[in-house]
Amino acid sequence: MRATDTRKYMESIVAGKILLVGATGLVGGLLTKKLMDQNAGAKLHLLVRRPYREELGKGKVHVQLQENWPATIAKIKPDIAISCLGSTMKKAGSKDEFAAVDRDLVGAVAKAAKAAGAKQFIAVSSTMADSSASSFYLKIKGEAEDLMRAEKFDRLDIIRPGLLRGDRVNDERLGERLAIAASPMMDLLLHGSLRRYRSILGSDVAAAIVALMKQEAHGDFVHDNDAIWQMV
């Protein structure tokens, strides 16, 4: 599809406002650039906790403490809400702080978006997310998914990528960098149902989110690596 056709296509499928939280992360940053490149920037609202220093063109940035997010979302009234929120235990500092962002804040955004009239919610989660998992990380991710489902959006898209690859800015993740370095060899060993654990480019996940924004079918959908790759 030519660039001009892509812009017209995005204008036709995104008639209303787009809310994005987590724009300072890997996938969120890439998604923001894609939406701006495809002429959807004027409909884009970023909700962040700290000043956003990238150029957003006609888009709007809302800098708010997270306890003020629900009220801000109520004012924005998004048609589509997207969560790319995600932290690490080291960055969060404790299990409680990790859960406060990756579960509680995600859940609060979903609840506020639904109350504000959003029809579709798209969220980046994690492969193997499960509220009954023994792993604390996967349990929190699964509990966040349960909170999203409880809101009964017309359409809910949960993306469960494997290890994300890409350049992170001001986000040191030593363990993740080591895993990424080893991923080319490890990916070769993961076949069949194990493909969901392969590493994946953050840009592919961002492209999949754009593709999901044009879907009209109602229901709850989970997308792993193979589904993501089919959309890009």
- 152-196 pLDDT, tens digit per residue, is 999 999 999 988 887 765 555 545 554 445 455 555 545 466 656
Q: Buried (b) or exposed (e) across 182-220, using 16+ Cβ within 10 A?
A: ebeeebeebeeeeebbbbbbbbbbbbbbbebbeeeeeee
Mean pLDDT in the chain? Answer: 86
Q: Are strands 155-159 and 200-201 parallel, antiparallel or unpaired?
A: unpaired
| β-strand partners of 81 | 19, 121
Neighbours of 64 (CB within 10 A): 14
Q: What is the pLDDT of residues 6-38, one digit of tens each?
A: 555 555 456 689 999 999 999 999 999 999 988
Contacts of 14 (CB under 8 A, 6+ apart): 40, 43, 79, 80, 213
What is the per-residue pLDDT for 182?
A: 46
Phi/psi for 29 (5° steps) reads -65, -45
Closest by CA to 81, choosing from 113, 59, 54, is 113
Label residue 134 exposed, middle or buried (CB < 10 Å: 0-12, 13-18, 19+).
exposed
The number of distinct structural domains making up the chain is 1
Catalytic machinery residues:
137, 141
The CATH number covering residue 37 comes to 3.40.50.720
The Cα 131–Cα 143 span in angstroms is: 5
Q: Which domain holds residue 8?
A: 3-231
**Adjacent-strand bridge partners of 83:** 21, 123
The pTM of the full predicted model, rounded to 2 decimals, is 0.86
